[in-house]
Amino acid sequence: MKIKYFEYITVYLSVFLVCVFIGIIGRLVLLERGADEYTAGVFFWISTGFGILMFAILSLFLNDLAERVLNRFLKVKKNESPESRIPSEDFVKIEDTLIKPELPENKNSAINIEQVREERQNAVKNQKQSRIDIAIRYAQQEFALYVTDDDLKQLGKNIIIYAEDINFEKIMAVKVKDLSNLDLYHFGWNIWNFFKVSRQDKAAQFLKLTFADALKDVEENSIKTHLKDYEQKGLIKIIEDFRGF
């Protein structure tokens, strides 16, 4: 800013000195031609002031004109897109490179992604199947002495239906002997806690349908509220985790 002010002072001082010089020359010329001192002095101040005024007017209009010309020039430059400065042949080459990039000869990257996805899906499926196998093995050991072989197989099918959250209409009843309702409740809670695929009222429905004969006189809501009663009583007890079976 200080440099800019110094430039303004230099320009206007130079103009003032030039105007004064012109006024002095005019004053001397008038005196040589016989004019009096007063007239020569008036001419000096008028010519000096007029010169300064003309410079100010010209400076104002010239600056505005220069600014307009500069803005128009910059606008034209700005409107020129980068593509317009690229030869058409080179631009076609660039466009082809962007739109049609060369495909790598090795397509293993895409194949690997599909392979990883498939492996992860298989891992989840295998993990779920493993849990179902454990639950069926647990049920077989708990009910082996209290149901027939056919009913034991059906119990395994019912567990699969529950674990996969399939329509419960496909559940078939299993007949048991020598087991109390408390034993069946504990079994239902263990299965529910192991899979956690539904709320406890769904587990109560599973028990009601699976052991339809034994629980024919018990409402599902009552089954739900007694699933974990007397945890260590009965032939089937509450087990927090039976993955060791």
Q: What is the pLDDT of residues 49-74, one digit of tens each?
A: 777 777 766 666 665 554 565 556 55
Catalogue the long-range contacts made by 27-30 (C-beta closer than 8 Å, 24 or more residues apart): none
**CB neighbour class for 209 (10 Å; exposed up to 12, middle 13-18, buried from 19):** buried
Catalogue the long-range contacts made by 58-66 (C-beta closer than 8 Å, 24 or more residues apart): none
pLDDT value at position 114? Answer: 77
| Cα separation values, 34 from 40, 42, 46, Å | 10, 15, 19
Say whether pLDDT at 42 is over 70.
yes
pLDDT value at position 67? Answer: 58
Angstrom distance (rounded) from CA 39 to CA 26: 11
pLDDT value at position 145? Answer: 96
**Average pLDDT, integer, range 115-143:** 84
**Residue 2 confidence class, pLDDT cut points 50, 70, 90:** very low
pLDDT value at position 92? Answer: 52
- The residue among 88 and 243 whose pLDDT is bigger is 243
Residue 146 near residue 175 (C-beta atoms within 8 A)? no
- The residue among 80 and 38 whose pLDDT is bigger is 38
Angstrom distance (rounded) from CA 188 to CA 203: 6
- Among 53-57, 79-83, 157-161, the least confident range: 79-83
pLDDT value at position 94? Answer: 46
Question: What pTM was computed for the model?
Answer: 0.52
- The one-letter amino acid at 71: N
Instruction: Give the rounded percent of residues in the chain with a pLDDT score beyond 70.
Output: 68
